[in-house]
A and B are shown apart, each in its own frame.
Chain A
Amino acid sequence: MSVTLPAGQVYVPGGGGGKPAPAGDNYLNHGTSILSWALTLDHKRIGLMYMVGVLSAFLLGGTFAIGLRTELFDPSPFFNKNSSQAWEFYNHMFTMHGAIMVFLFIIPAIPAILGNMVLPLMLGAKDVAFPRLNLLSFWIWVLGAVLFTFILLGGVVRVSVPAATWNGWQAALDGLHIGWILPGGLDTGWTFYTPYSTSKSTAGVVPATMGAFVLGFSSILTGVNFIASIHMLRAPGMTWFRMPLFLWAIYGTALIQILATPVLAITLMLLMAEKILGVGIFDPALGGDPVLYQHFFWFYSHPAVYIMILPAMGIISDVISVHSRKHIFGYTFIGFSSVAIALLGFLVWGHHMFVSGQSPMANAIFSLLTMSVAIPSAIKVFNWVSTLYKGDVRLTTPMVYALYFIVLFTFGGLTGLFLGAVSTDVHLTNTYFIVAHFHYVMVGSTLFAFLAGVYHWWPKMFGKMYNEKVGVIAATIVFIGFNLTFFVQFIAGSLGMPRRYATYPEQFHIYHQISTIGAYVTACGLILVLCHWISSLRSGKKAAANPWGGNSLEWHIPSPPPHDNFVGKPIGNDPYDFSQWKETGENVWEFDPSVSPTPIRARP
């Protein structure tokens, strides 16, 4: 399926015809006022704004994680007096950690930052299909983040005043039915399980669910935008099977975003109605069913896990192929496995309730479907490894992250088998085994893929290169720290350590200590990554248009891209055919139109 240009046409990198942008003009300096950023319709600028916001959220969530691990290193000093505040403080910390990381960081991380940044570039488009919606979705995200911050501040106030004073305030406000003004933190866990969230927990549940509700709309708008863009804005010549795999992954992600998020929205609305008005859908005293809430919630939140991991897989497919100079192995299988994961992901939510007392038939079906998700995941891993075969593997920073991703995803994925099998899940559910499993998948895999993607597209985004050695060292520190933190949690969990415990029996002490040390190592590594970025921005070498020799369309235009991305229309080509690019210097590849692209069928 080679591209044949019409007679008389000469391929021009970055498209042809039209007027080129003035020299030195790019999206970063195209307008410098604050409003030119805040009201920009440029997908690249919106991506960058997301990056600042989402990474701030990550910093906040990470601070809570360090707080948790510090407390768990040795809980005894915190709990030596007869006060409930210490327990409460711990509960607030793990809730805020989970809620911020899930709703504000992992879900928007790859689609909203990297998706916005490179999806139109990869499509050969000037922007996403609906730029105004895109901007709206960013500001909705900000609104959601503000609501979460509001709870956070409430939590700070709560732990800093005496309990009696606090209760007095709250009673007064409750009397006026505006208890939510003083949210007092959030202690339900990020899942807001009923009836605890509706009957016992602090008033912070209302702004928190409101925040998640609002963030859901941000997610939906992004999803609608990406689906329409991929359907409508592909460059001429870019058939579905000539899209970069990152786009397939984003497509699968967008499908989940639009299909699952509305259900979360309505669930949270019911939860708010229950908390504020006393509606009894989830209240057993009124004939409601608290487990129904869990079904509703996981109908969204399990697919949400795939919102987190699918785009990560897309990044890895691209990074591995480009940095080993090899055509991706088994393109079709990888592409279809993305969509298969997206669809199967909708049918497995019940595996969160294996021990809730639901019917054995339901358990059987959910277990079987859960198991089947393992198959497309396995296909992807084998295809990635096969891509390396006979390649020209360059251990650049993004490649190192991608390889670490394969390690972590293999661990995370295979430990899922323990949890998909019903009888072993009965023993392991809600223990640290679960905690370790989903951190391997959601943090290990997604975070590493995110970092791989950021490093991969960094030269494109900012037009600066970075020091590879420092990058690789930082990646390795994060990798070691991460494994130290979470591998022992598998053991603690299978021995029976329950999650969300502020204190724990003696026999688990050693695991918690190792885990905490690992958390500190991870934090050091991530701080190094941040410094690395800053130093690259300040003093990085200027990046070439194509520093890696990639062939997807974003590498055909200057770094950083001009405001309008492409001059005229580019031609979609096989993104994994690198034969037309020649390495002419360190991190500089030049397009050589005299070489004809490798026809796919003729490739040996």
Chain B
Amino acid sequence: MTLMTNSIFSLLGEGRTSLWLPSNGSNFAGDIDWLFNIILWITVFFTVLILGLMVYFVIRYRHTAGRMPEPSTSHSTTLELTWTIIPTILVLGIFFYGFRGFVDMMGAPPDTYDIQAQARTWGWTFTYPNGATDENLHVEANRPVRIILQSSDVIHALYVPAFRVQKYVVPGRYNRMWFTPNFIRGTGATTETLDFYCNLYCGQLHSNMIGKVYVHTTEDYKKWLADAADWTKKFTPLQAGENFYKKSGCMQCHSMDGSLGTGPTWKNLFASQQPLADGSSVLADENYIRESILYPAAKIVKGYNNVMPSYLGQLKDRDIDALITYMKSISENYKGSPDDLNPKMPPSVPVQLNPLDPIIH
């Protein structure tokens, strides 16, 4: 019940001015909302007209004992042409404004900066102009940005409701979208958080393929970019490994507590013997793990399917090293010294992980 009450309050969320549309987060929202509302009013007008007439006729001419239908004409060319021509004009108008809005969305201005978005089952990697990567989308307020979309496996779609933008992410082809984000709740904050979704069904964990869009102020964005570009300044490899585990999509399929998932669990994986589908087995050493990350189809563990996307080009060498360090730390089979796993940084530095935003309430 509390849930329900909360939900009712969230009906008109922050920054929203309409029952129908989310808050206005980009340069496109104004135009699209305007057209949406026009069509909405056309809809309301015709609904009221048609249903009103219908209800009136049904009541006025309902059957009573002995009543006969009154004579009336069975067609009227004038009337029928009227309701052919008026809708024609209306839909032509709607088409015109709809297409004009779309043309705006096609032509990016020359001064954009590019963010590469790589979609895979089931997660995203955004690569920023300075080489930083993140699973969430960070953009600068009031500056046009172009997102270049590519997919590692199947078709996905990037959809940001607050920006009113959406595009398929098609394997074998680059798709692009652009927009200029703005602050919804006015000034004061340095960042603002919105939702984005994968909006084309892509399999098992499609509904987990969602993330956050962070809109930063200019200074804040610069700072974030610099921090994001180099994790070695902030994290030990072990911390970074855990971070990659959570942020790069490993967690969706590989558990760290031994439970079954889409892929083999990582608990006690490192340095163990992995039985393969072809009947042989392999020692899960650094080479094997690196190969499995970059060429997942090379060796399929017995009982699992070949569904993992390749991380070639998405994870750098030191990122993979960090992941291996993390895997060592949760494997009893690893016989090395614990110190090896955590050498570089004094433990006093606070670990600032981006917690995975709760998907389910």
Residues of A within 8 A of B105 (CB): 423, 426
Q: Tell whether A332 is near chain B: CB-to-CB under 8 Å.
A: yes
Residues of B within 8 A of A237 (CB): none
Residues of A within 8 A of B171 (CB): 195, 284-285, 290
- Whether B208 and A576, one on each chain, are in contact in the complex, defined by CB atoms closer than 8 angstroms, is no
Q: How far is the CB of A186 from chain B (nearest CB, A)?
A: 12
Contacts A383-B80, A390-B61, A510-B8; is A167 near B305 (CB within 8 Å)?
Answer: yes
- Whether A324 and B95, one on each chain, are in contact in the complex, defined by CB atoms closer than 8 angstroms, is no
Can you name the residue of chain A whose Cβ is closest to the Cβ of B159?
A498
- Whether B303 and A79, one on each chain, are in contact in the complex, defined by CB atoms closer than 8 angstroms, is no
Which secondary structure characterizes the binding site on chain A?
A: helix
Q: How far is the CB of A332 from chain B (nearest CB, A)?
A: 7
- Whether B22 and A495, one on each chain, are in contact in the complex, defined by CB atoms closer than 8 angstroms, is yes
Within 8 A of B (CB), among A547-572: none
- Whether B197 and A498, one on each chain, are in contact in the complex, defined by CB atoms closer than 8 angstroms, is yes
Residues of B within 8 A of A498 (CB): 159, 197-199, 207
Residues of A within 8 A of B31 (CB): 423
Q: How far is it, in angstroms, between the C-alpha of A187 and the C-alpha of B157 when the chains are bound?
A: 18
Q: How far is the CB of B192 from chain A (nearest CB, A)?
A: 16
- Whether B98 and A509, one on each chain, are in contact in the complex, defined by CB atoms closer than 8 angstroms, is no
Q: Tell whether A411 is near chain B: CB-to-CB under 8 Å.
A: yes
Can you name the residue of chain A whose Cβ is closest to the Cβ of B74?
A327
Contacts A193-B201, A332-B75; is A427 near B161 (CB within 8 Å)?
Answer: yes
Can you name the residue of chain B whose Cβ is closest to the Cβ of A75?
B360
Q: How far is it, in angstroms, between the C-alpha of A385 and the C-alpha of B51 when the chains are bound?
A: 9
Q: Tell whether A143 is near chain B: CB-to-CB under 8 Å.
A: no
Contacts A284-B172, A423-B102, A505-B195; is A82 near B259 (CB within 8 Å)?
Answer: yes
Q: Which of A164, A424, A509 contacts B3 (CB 8 A)?
A: A509
Residues of A within 8 A of B298 (CB): none
Contacts A427-B32, A507-B10; is A87 near B204 (CB within 8 Å)?
Answer: yes
Residues of B within 8 A of A325 (CB): 68-69
Q: How far is it, in angstroms, between the C-alpha of A510 and the C-alpha of B61 when the chains are bound?
A: 41
- Whether A426 and B102, one on each chain, are in contact in the complex, defined by CB atoms closer than 8 angstroms, is yes
- Whether B361 and A378, one on each chain, are in contact in the complex, defined by CB atoms closer than 8 angstroms, is no
Residues of A within 8 A of B22 (CB): 495-496
Residues of A within 8 A of B91 (CB): 371-372, 374-375, 417, 420
Q: Tell whether B62 is near chain A: CB-to-CB under 8 Å.
A: yes
- Whether A199 and B207, one on each chain, are in contact in the complex, defined by CB atoms closer than 8 angstroms, is no
Q: Tell whether A421 is near chain B: CB-to-CB under 8 Å.
A: yes
The stretch from B162-170, B288-296, B315-323, B332-340 touching chain A is: B162-170
Residues of B within 8 A of A284 (CB): 170-173
- Whether B46 and A410, one on each chain, are in contact in the complex, defined by CB atoms closer than 8 angstroms, is yes
Give 1 or 0 for each of A79-96: 1 = CB within 8 Å of chain B CB: 101111001100100000
Q: How far is the CB of B360 from chain A (nearest CB, A)?
A: 5
- Whether A367 and B361, one on each chain, are in contact in the complex, defined by CB atoms closer than 8 angstroms, is no
Interface residue tally for chain B (C-beta within 8 Å)? 110
- In this complex, the member of B165, B257, B359 whose beta carbon has the largest number of chain A beta carbons within 10 angstroms is B359
Q: How far is it, in angstroms, between the C-alpha of A355 and the C-alpha of B67 when the chains are bound?
A: 56
Q: How far is it, in angstroms, between the C-alpha of A324 and the C-alpha of B102 when the chains are bound?
A: 46
Q: Which of B53, B63, B255, B359 contacts A503 (CB 8 A)?
A: B359
Residues of B within 8 A of A505 (CB): 195, 210, 359
- Whether A330 and B80, one on each chain, are in contact in the complex, defined by CB atoms closer than 8 angstroms, is yes
Q: Which of B165, B210, B257, B260 contacts A164 (CB 8 A)?
A: B260
Chain A's interface size range is 35 or more
Contacts A357-B170, A510-B8; is A426 near B165 (CB within 8 Å)?
Answer: yes
Q: How far is it, in angstroms, between the C-alpha of A325 and the C-alpha of B61 when the chains are bound?
A: 11
Give 1 or 0 for each of B229-259: 1 = CB within 8 Å of chain A CB: 0000000000000000000000001010101
Q: Which of B7, B71, B255 contacts A510 (CB 8 A)?
A: B7
Q: How far is it, in angstroms, between the C-alpha of A290 and the C-alpha of B156 when the chains are bound?
A: 12
Q: Tell whether A580 is near chain B: CB-to-CB under 8 Å.
A: no
Q: Tell whether B73 is near chain A: CB-to-CB under 8 Å.
A: yes
Q: Tell whether B17 is near chain A: CB-to-CB under 8 Å.
A: no
Residues of A within 8 A of B58 (CB): 388, 393, 395, 403
Q: Tell whether B325 is near chain A: CB-to-CB under 8 Å.
A: no
Within 8 A of B (CB), among A496-519: 496, 498-507, 509-510, 513
Using a CB–CB cutoff of 8 Å, the interface residues on chain A facing chain B are 74-76, 79, 81-84, 87-88, 91, 162-164, 167-168, 170-171, 187-189, 193-196, 199-201, 284-285, 289-291, 324-333, 353-357, 360, 363-364, 367-368, 371-372, 374-375, 378-379, 381-383, 385-386, 388-395, 403, 406-407, 410-411, 414-415, 417-418, 420-427, 429-431, 490-491, 494-496, 498-507, 509-510, 513, 576, 600, 603-604
Can you list 9 pairs linking A and B with CB atoms under 8 Å apart?
A91-B206, A290-B155, A371-B91, A375-B88, A378-B87, A383-B80, A411-B47, A430-B157, A500-B201
A-B contact sample (9 more), CB < 8 A, given A495-B21, A510-B8, A603-B73:
A326-B74, A382-B80, A406-B50, A418-B39, A424-B35, A426-B32, A431-B161, A503-B359, A513-B4
Listed from nearest, the 9 A-B pairs whose CB atoms lie closest are A496-B161, A284-B172, A421-B98, A423-B101, A510-B7, A388-B57, A501-B207, A422-B102, A371-B91
